[in-house]
Amino acid sequence: MKVLVLGASGATGKLVVQQFVKRNIQVRIIVRETAILPSQISADKKIEIIKGNISDFEITKIKDIVKDCDSVICCLGHNLSFKGIYGSPRKLVSNAVSKIIEAMQSLNIYPKFILMSTTAYTNRKIEEVDDFREKIIFSLLEVLLPPHKDNMLAAYELVHKLSSKTSIEWVAVRPDSLFDEENVSKYEIHNNKIRSAIFNSGKTSRINVSHFMAELVTNEKLWQEWKFKTPVIYNKEFDS
Tell me which stretch binds ligand NAP (CB under 6 A): 9-17, 21-29, 182-190, 215-223: 9-17
Total residues interacting with ligand NAP, rule: CB under 6 A: 26
Q: How far apart are CA 179 and CA 190, in angstroms?
A: 19
Q: How far apart are CA 134 and CA 54, in angstroms?
A: 33
Cβ closest to ligand NAP, residue 71 vs residue 118: 118
CB half-sphere exposure, 63, CA atoms < 13 A: 10
**What is the identity of the amino acid at 178?**
L
Residue 173 within binding range of ligand NAP, rule CB under 6 A? no
Binding mask 19-58 for ligand NAP (x = CB under 6 A): -------------x-xx-----------------x-x---
Tell me which stretch binds ligand NAP (CB under 6 A): 64-72, 85-93, 212-220, 225-233: 85-93
Closest C-alpha among 44, 23, 59 to residue 216? 23
Residue 158 within binding range of ligand NAP, rule CB under 6 A? no
Residues that bind ligand NAP (CB under 6 A): 7, 9-13, 32, 34-35, 53, 55, 75-79, 84, 89, 92-93, 116, 118, 151, 175, 177-178
